[in-house]
């Protein structure tokens, strides 16, 4: 295990580059977290050495960070804003709350949370990727959002916070990139306050087969080309499409959240299941 | 668990986003600025309308109003319908509306009143804002056109019902006038009275005949 000390913004963060054990799956059967081979994991549809995944994911996000927001709007036709708004609505956040926006990237959720928690509240924008965090920090500062936001570069598997710290934790379009999802969920559970809630917004499995086929065509044929044209990086968007297929489906993720200790877990499909919002409480 | 089309299309989020943008644009152009929002800082007003399947919550922070569809925490909650919301402009009707179960208020009513005050004191100089973007002359012309259009619309709004009434009542005689209805009702009442009198007279005569026989 590597230990790296990084100074970032207001906090000094210890990053533990965690090891993981995940197996690659048939691309037509995206599920889960079975660990059939301890030395390998998946990176999109590729099987890679477990210690390679983080650096590979990191290089993807270093590459796309600057164009991330533009690409999000283009790829989702702007609907990602509604998905995020749905997440904010489901968070029940109120003035004075402490919120962790994990894998917060360019800070869309943080911006809104920061305004809703008020001066007494606090939002931590955490991301493992320094480029994404830099883009997020610059964007939020340009919007004048400075007073109650802290930036932390952290690995979701080893959250550098005390137990029972946060009222709300969100992870939007980030969990599928985490090497050991079970470990990350347990880590989130640990830092969540009793009564607090976790919201996982992530791509999922469309409910209807027809939508699934259209979505597959769009993801594997159009999306990488769009990435190549706009972000000058088709490979990263090919990874995006593949990583979505490898992510656990709705029921599997719900089971994983249950296993991590969350209670009253539930999920809501958005846009026909293209995206799902999972919710779980710690009591 | 099946979701409705409105949920799938995220109508609630679309509406709240549109409302939020609209409200904050209005506040931005308000001549009195956003000072009125300060007493409402970190306060939330939730409105549950009969016409909508989701609540709308208006929270104030940083001189901005945020609209969400969450009703877990609020300072004041109004449960009503759109038509009643319009009636709420008249404060004296508040008690009547509550008595008639048209309005339910939970929490601090002052919060709702302050939100209403902000809405009523909005003062936007549209012409000045437009002139900044497209120039003085086009703004003047658009303003003139707008006023002419308004005058015509206002005239049409009065004239069309009058013409329709004239055509229906006098030309086609499809509908009777209020006066005609009144005369008819009076005649019916008169006939009814006469019939009752006649009935009474007949009964008296029958009684008299039966006594004689």
Q: Residue B201's pLDDT band (boundaries 50, 70, 90)?
A: very high
- Average pLDDT along chain A: 81
Q: Residue B118's pLDDT band (boundaries 50, 70, 90)?
A: confident
Residue B79 phi, psi dihedral angles, 5° rounding: -110, 110
Asked if residues A48 and A40 have their Cβ atoms less than 8 Å apart, the reply is yes
Asked if residues A257 and A185 have their Cβ atoms less than 8 Å apart, the reply is yes
Residue of A nearest to B41 (CA): A118
Residues B120 and B176 in one domain: no
Residues B206 and B142 in one domain: yes
Conformation bin of residue A58: beta by default, left when phi > 0, alpha when psi is -120 to 50: alpha
At residue A35, the pLDDT reads 44
Burial A5-36 (b: 16+ CB within 10 A, else e): eeebeebebebebbbbbbebbeeeebbbbeee
Residues B143 and B180 in one domain: yes
pLDDT at B39 over 50: yes
pLDDT at A247 over 90: no
At residue A219, the pLDDT reads 83
| CA-closest candidate to residue B172, choices B161, B183, B180, B163 | B163
CA-CA distances (angstroms) from residue A40 to A15, A19, A186? 21, 10, 21
pLDDT digits (tens, 9 = 90+) for B60-103: 887 789 999 988 889 999 888 888 877 776 666 777 778 777 88
Give B45's strand partners: B58, B76
Single residue among B124, B157, B190 that ends a domain in this structure: B124
User: Using CA atoms, how far apart are residues A8 and A283, in angstroms rounded to an integer?
Assistant: 32
Q: Residue B213's pLDDT band (boundaries 50, 70, 90)?
A: confident
Residues B105 and B132 in one domain: no
Single residue among B61, B89, B124 that ends a domain in this structure: B124
**Angle subtended at Cα B81 by Cα B112 and Cα B124, rounded to the nearest 5 degrees:** 55
At residue A4, the pLDDT reads 38
Asked if residues A40 and A50 have their Cβ atoms less than 8 Å apart, the reply is yes
pLDDT at A14 over 80: no
Which residues in chain A are contacts of B13 at CB distance < 8 A? 82, 85-86, 89
CA-CA distances (angstroms) from residue B203 to B191, B197, B206? 18, 10, 5
Q: Specify the long-range contacts of residues A228-237, CB closer than 8 Å, at least 24 apart.
A: A230/A67, A230/A70, A230/A71, A230/A74, A231/A63, A231/A64, A231/A67, A231/A70, A231/A71, A233/A63, A233/A64, A236/A60, A236/A63, A236/A64, A237/A64, A237/A71, A237/A75
pLDDT at B8 over 90: no
How far B68 CA sits from the closest chain A CA (Å)?
6
- What is the percent of chain B where pLDDT is above 70? 96
- Over residues A163-175, the mean pLDDT reads 94
At residue A106, the pLDDT reads 85
Q: Residue A148 has what DSSP assignment?
A: T
Residue of A nearest to B12 (CA): A86
At residue A240, the pLDDT reads 80
Q: Residue A38's pLDDT band (boundaries 50, 70, 90)?
A: low
Residues B144 and B198 in one domain: yes
Window from A65-69, B166-170, B202-206 with minimum mean pLDDT: A65-69
Residue B104 domain boundaries: 5-124
How far A269 CA sits from the closest chain B CA (Å)?
8
Structure tokens at B71: 């009703």
Q: Residue A66's pLDDT band (boundaries 50, 70, 90)?
A: confident
Structure tokens at A25: 């799956």
**Angle subtended at Cα A152 by Cα A98 and Cα A245, rounded to the nearest 5 degrees:** 90
For the ranges A7-16, A186-195, B1-10, the one whose mean pLDDT is highest:
A186-195
CATH number at residue B18: 3.30.1050.10
At residue A260, the pLDDT reads 94
pLDDT digits (tens, 9 = 90+) for B174-193: 888 888 899 999 999 999 99
pLDDT at B114 over 80: yes
Residues B21 and B118 in one domain: yes
**Count of domains observed in chain B:** 2
Residues B191 and B137 in one domain: yes
Q: Which residue has the higher pLDDT, A251 or B9?
A: A251
Window from A29-38, B160-169, B202-211 with minimum mean pLDDT: A29-38
Supply the ipTM of this predicted assembly.
0.74
pLDDT at A2 over 60: no
Window from A105-119, A168-182, B2-16, B144-158 with minimum mean pLDDT: B2-16
pLDDT at A164 over 50: yes
Single residue among B82, B103, B124 that ends a domain in this structure: B124
- Over residues B48-61, the mean pLDDT reads 90
pLDDT at A64 over 90: no
pLDDT digits (tens, 9 = 90+) for A117-149: 988 999 999 998 888 898 889 999 988 888 899
Which residues in chain B are contacts of A269 at CB distance < 8 A? 3, 8
Inter-chain Cβ pairs, chain A and chain B, closer than 8 A: 51
Give B80's strand partners: B49
Residues B161 and B87 in one domain: no
Burial label for B71, CB within 10 Å (0-12, 13-18, 19+), is middle
For the ranges A59-63, A96-100, B78-82, B118-122, the one whose mean pLDDT is highest:
A96-100
Residues B54 and B92 in one domain: yes
| CA-closest candidate to residue A267, choices A86, A141, A41 | A86
What is the DSSP code string of chain B? ----HHHHTTHHHHHHHHHHHHHHHHHHHBTTTTGGGGGGTT-EEEEEETT-SS-EEEEEETTEEEEES--SS-SEEEEE-HHHHHHTTSGGGHHHHHHTTS-EEEE-HHHHHHHHHHHHT--B-HHHHHHHHH-HHHHHHHHHHHHHHHHHHHHHHHHHHHHHHHIIIIIS--S--HHHHHHHHHHHHHHHHHHHHHHHHHHHHHHHHHHH-
Contact flag B13-A82 (C-beta cutoff 8 Å): yes
Which residues in chain A are contacts of B46 at CB distance < 8 A? none
Which residues in chain A are contacts of B44 at CB distance < 8 A? 94
Residues B102 and B14 in one domain: yes
Give B47's strand partners: B56, B78
pLDDT at A221 over 80: yes
Burial A252-283 (b: 16+ CB within 10 A, else e): bbbebbeebebeebebbbbbbbbbbbbbbbbe
Residue of A nearest to B55 (CA): A89
The domains of chain A, with CATH numbers, are: 65-206+242-281 (3.40.50.150)
Which residues in chain B are contacts of A88 at CB distance < 8 A? 68
Residues B136 and B117 in one domain: no
- Over residues B25-31, the mean pLDDT reads 80
Residues B40 and B57 in one domain: yes
């Amino acid at each position: 295990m590597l230990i790296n000390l990084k100074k970032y913004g207001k906090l000094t963060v210890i990053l533990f580059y965690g090891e993981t054990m995940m197996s690659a799956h048939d691309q037509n059967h995206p599920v889960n977290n079975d660990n059939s081979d301890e030395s390998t994991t998946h990176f999109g549809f590729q099987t890679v050495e477990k210690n390679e995944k983080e650096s590979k994911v990191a290089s993807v996000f270093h590459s796309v960070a600057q164009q991330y927001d533009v690409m999000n709007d283009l790829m989702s036709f702007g609907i990602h804003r509604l998905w995020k708004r749905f997440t904010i609505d489901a968070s029940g956040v109120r003035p004075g709350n402490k919120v962790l926006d994990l894998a917060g990237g360019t800070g869309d959720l943080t911006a809104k949370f920061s305004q809703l928690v008020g001066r007494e509240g606090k939002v931590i924008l955490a991301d493992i990727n320094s480029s994404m965090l830099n883009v997020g920090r610059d964007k939020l500062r340009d919007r004048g959002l400075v007073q109650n936001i802290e930036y932390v570069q952290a690995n979701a598997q080893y959250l550098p916070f005390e137990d029972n710290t946060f009222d709300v934790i969100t992870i939007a379009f980030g969990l599928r990139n985490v090497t050991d999802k079970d470990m990350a969920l347990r880590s989130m559970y640990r830092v969540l306050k009793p009564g607090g809630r976790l919201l996982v917004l992530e791509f999922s499995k469309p409910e209807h087969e027809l939508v699934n086929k259209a979505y597959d065509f769009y993801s594997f044929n159009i999306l990488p080309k769009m990435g190549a044209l706009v972000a000058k990086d088709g490979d990263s968007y090919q990874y995006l499409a593949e990583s979505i297929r490898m992510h656990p489906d709705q029921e599997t993720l719900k089971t994983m959240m249950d296993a991590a200790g969350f209670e009253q877990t539930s999920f809501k499909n958005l846009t026909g299941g293209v995206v799902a919002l999972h919710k779980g409480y710690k009591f | 668990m099946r979701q409705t089309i409105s949920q799938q299309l995220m109508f609630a989020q679309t509406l709240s986003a549109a409302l939020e943008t609209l409200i904050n644009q209005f506040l931005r152009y308000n001549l009195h600025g956003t000072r009125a929002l300060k007493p409402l800082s970190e306060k939330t007003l939730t409105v549950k309308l009969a016409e909508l399947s989701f609540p709308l919550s208006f929270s104030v922070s940083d001189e901005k109003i945020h609209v969400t569809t969450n009703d877990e925490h609020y300072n004041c909650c109004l449960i009503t319908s759109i038509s009643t919301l319009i009636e709420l402009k008249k404060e004296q009707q508040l008690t009547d509306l509550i008595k008639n179960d048209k309005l339910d208020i939970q929490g601090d009513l002052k919060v709702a009143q302050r939100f209403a005050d902000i809405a009523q004191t909005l003062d936007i100089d549209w012409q000045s804002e437009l002139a900044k973007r497209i120039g003085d002359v086009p703004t003047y012309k658009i303003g003139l056109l707008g006023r002419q259009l308004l005058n015509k619309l206002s005239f049409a709004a009065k004239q069309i019902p009058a013409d329709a009434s004239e055509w229906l009542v006098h030309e086609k005689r499809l509908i009777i006038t209020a006066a005609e209805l009144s005369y008819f009702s009076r005649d019916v009442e008169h006939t009814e009275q006469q019939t009752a009198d006649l009935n009474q007279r007949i009964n008296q005569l029958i009684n008299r005949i039966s006594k004689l026989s």
